[in-house]
Amino acid sequence: MKKRNLAVLLLWAVLTGAAWLLPARELSQAERRPLAQMPAISGQTILNGKFMTGFEKYSLDQFPLRDGFRTIKSLFHFYGLHQLDNNGIYLAKGYAVKQEYPANADSVAHALERFTHLYEKYLQDSRVSMAIVPDKGYYLQDGHLRMDYDRFYADFAQELPWAQQIDLRECLSLEDYYRTDIHWRQEKLAKAAAALCQGLGVGAFDPEEFTVTALERPFYGVYYGQAALPMEPETMYLLENAVIQACRVYDYESGKENPVYDLGKLTGRDLYEVFLSGSRSLLTIENPNSRTDRELILFRDSFGSAMAPLLLADYAKITLVDLRYIPIDRLDRFLDFHGQDVLLLYSIPVLNNSQTIK
C-alpha cells in the first residue's frame, strides 16, 4: 500500500468502530429532539423497507461526534465555500439569523383569511389591535435576501381594517433579540411594551416597576443547534415584580395552575419555555392586583409568552390563545367573548409560514 494513505484508512476504521460500538444516545440537546434508535428487524420490516429506512435515520442520528461533524459542515460551508447562508441561516454582527425570504403570498393570504374569520365569528364587539413582530433580518442590511417588509406590513393593515395596527418596528433593534435564538429578549422590550400599552389604551408601561433576574443556566437558542457554529451561550433574564408573582396561570390542556415564570422548565429542552410554560394552546392569567377589571384576549405565538407578563398591570385577566394548537371554530367551547380587548401579536416567521394557524 502507499503507506502514506494508511492514516486515512486508520481514520476511516476508527470512525467505523465508533459508529458500531458507541452506545445510542436518547436526545440531541443542540437540536432539541429525540434521536432515532435502532429499528426492529424482522422479515416484515425488511420486506416493506421499514428496517432500511429506520436504519438510515439511526445511522445518521447516532453517528459519533454528530454535533462536531455538523460544525465542520457549517464551517466548511461558510468559510471553505464562502456560502452566504447554511440551510437558510446566516451570521451577521454575531447574530445567527434565519433568512425569511421571500414573503410567502399564500401564507399571508391564509393568515388574513383565518384572522378575518376569527373577527367575524367572535370579535365584532371588541376593540381589536394587531402588532407584527419583525424578525432579526429586518434590522440587517448586509447583502442577504430581505423580503419587502413594507409591503408585508401594508398587506395586513389593508386587509384587516377592523384591527388597529401597532407598529413595533421602531420600538426594537437587533440587540433586542437573542444572538442564538429566534426570540426577543424580555428585558429589552420596554419600548415595545410601552407601544402596546399605548395602543391598547391602558396605563403607561413603566420599566421601573420591574426587577431584572438572570437565570443561571446558559441559554442556547434554537439557531445555535441549527447553525451548528461555535457560538457563545447567552444569559436569559426575567422581568419580575410583585404583580407577576401574585398571578396564577391556568392551563386548559393540563387543567393545572402554574406561575407566570415556570422555573420547572429550567432543566427542560428549551429555556425559553420558562415563559408561561412554553407552547400551550390556551391559558388564562388571573391578576388579583390589577389596577382595572379589564380583560385582554391575546392571540399569539411564542413571542407573546415573554410579552404577556409585561401587560398585566392594567388587566385583571389575560387569555392567551395559540391558534396553531386550537382551531378557531372550537374557541367558543372554552371562551366567552364579550367585548374584551383583543390583541393579535404575531411574529413575521409565523405569519410567513402560517399554514399551521387553524
CA-closest candidate to residue 302, choices 133, 99, 156, 130: 133
Longest dimension (CA), the chain: 84
Closer CB to another protein, residue 61 or residue 234?
61
Does position 153 interact with another protein (CB under 8 A)? The reply is no
Closer CB to another protein, residue 7 or residue 214?
7
Closer CB to another protein, residue 1 or residue 214?
1
Q: How far is the CB of 190 from another protein (least distance, A)?
A: 35
**Which of 47, 208, 255, 336 lies at the binding interface for another protein (CB under 8 A)?**
47
Closer CB to another protein, residue 13 or residue 212?
13
Stretch that binds another protein, among 52-60, 124-132, 194-202, 265-273 (CB under 8 A): 52-60
Does position 56 interact with another protein (CB under 8 A)? The reply is yes
Query: Which residues have CB under 8 Å from 209's CB, separation 6+?
Result: 241, 243, 313
Binding mask 217-246 for another protein (x = CB under 8 A): -----------x------------------
Does position 76 interact with another protein (CB under 8 A)? The reply is yes
Q: Which residue's entry shows cell 445518521?
A: 60
**Which of 36, 85, 119, 325 lies at the binding interface for another protein (CB under 8 A)?**
85
Within the chain, where are the H helices? 6-21, 43-47, 50-61, 66-75, 105-118, 149-159, 190-200, 222-227, 242-246, 303-307, 348-351
CB 334 within 8 A of CB 311: no
Q: Give how far the C-alpha of residue 25 lies from the chain's centroid of Cα atoms, to the nearest Å.
A: 26
CB 218 within 8 A of CB 235: yes
Give the angle subtended at the CA of 265 by the CAs of 194 and 63, to the nearest 5°. Answer: 120
Which residues between 246 and 285 bind another protein (CB under 8 A)?
none
Q: Give how far the C-alpha of residue 117 lies from the chain's centroid of Cα atoms, to the nearest Å.
A: 25
Q: Give how far the C-alpha of residue 225 lies from the chain's centroid of Cα atoms, to the nearest Å.
A: 14
Does position 38 interact with another protein (CB under 8 A)? The reply is no
Does position 27 interact with another protein (CB under 8 A)? The reply is no
Q: How far is the CB of 69 from another protein (least distance, A)?
A: 4
Interacting residues with another protein (CB under 8 A): 1-2, 4-9, 11-13, 15-16, 19-20, 46-47, 49, 52, 55-56, 59-60, 63, 66, 69-74, 76, 80-85, 87, 101-102, 143-145, 228
